[in-house]
Chain A
Amino acid sequence: MLVLTRKVGERIRIGDEVTLQVLEVRGGQVRLGLAAPSAIRIFREEIFLAIEGQNQDAQLPDQSRLADAAAVWEAYADGKRS
């Protein structure tokens, strides 16, 4: 891992298009400003990992999994209506 030391207000350039700026350091927290093209997605890591994990879990193993869920949903929705 590349390790750089920066003061508040200083920046780091990542490639030609991404700029990371240290805005504030207070206690154990650092506030960062990021400027990047909209095609680059920026997330807090825990959010990224949560969605990535959810997407992986959601991959269908086969056709019948979806058909089973649709049947369960139909029965459930009918139960709620009656």
Chain B
Amino acid sequence: MASAAEERMAPVRRRDEDVVHIRSRRFGDFEVPADRVLHFAQGLIGFPKARQFVILDHRPGSPFKWMLCLEQPEVAFAVVEPARMVPDYVAPLELAARTLGTDPADVGLFVIVTIPTDPFAMTVNLMAPVVVDVRTRRSIQMVLEDGRCDPSYRVCAPRPAAAVES
């Protein structure tokens, strides 16, 4: 189910020429409405030149999304909305809104997933979420330094919590 913030990211109306073409050897070719492009003025951390991305659904209903870089089409990340994967997750929307200079209701928040060769060991980076102002699509990879946000939080616990309790 798409969040309210995400739905507002969808384009209302566009002309045919307002389409961005992405040609990637690794990930294939995509056509994306220009008004879905996210602008990271400072790039991602460690990727200062990766400033324009699009976020695309993996499959309808899946929490997984692609975050593809326009300038460097071989650079892509998997992202998710953490509320769908991390129990008791509280999104830092107020802080994100202040960082972006917008209203908390206009903030879209995603976390980057690190997927090792054994996908069961995948982790999400709760310390450095990607936050988006859905009206302007200004975006920042924000860093939460309060020490409680794990940069590699494991989403599939090795044993289900129920088994631990019994």
Contacts and interface: CB of A to CB of B under 8 A. Distances in A.
Interface of A: 39, 41, 43-44, 47-48, 50-63, 65-74, 76, 79-80
Contacts of A66: 58, 64, 66, 78, 115
Contacts, number: 102
B128 to A, nearest CB: 5
A74 B152 CA distance: 20
A59 B114 CA distance: 7
B45 A72 contact: no
Interface stretch (B2-10, B11-19, B88-96, B117-125): B117-125
Interface string B18-40: 00000000111000000000000
B120 A72 contact: yes
A41 B42 contact: yes
A23 B27 CA distance: 50
Contacts of A44: 145
Chain B interface residue bracket vs A? 35 or more
The binding surface of chain A is classed by DSSP as: helix
Interface in B126-166: 127-128, 141, 143, 145, 151-152, 155-156, 160
B45 A70 contact: no
A73 B156 contact: yes
B46 A72 contact: no
25 contacts: A41-B42, A41-B143, A50-B151, A51-B125, A52-B45, A52-B46, A54-B127, A54-B128, A55-B77, A55-B141, A56-B46, A58-B113, A58-B114, A59-B75, A59-B77, A62-B26, A65-B78, A66-B58, A66-B64, A66-B115, A69-B119, A70-B64, A72-B122, A73-B63, A76-B155
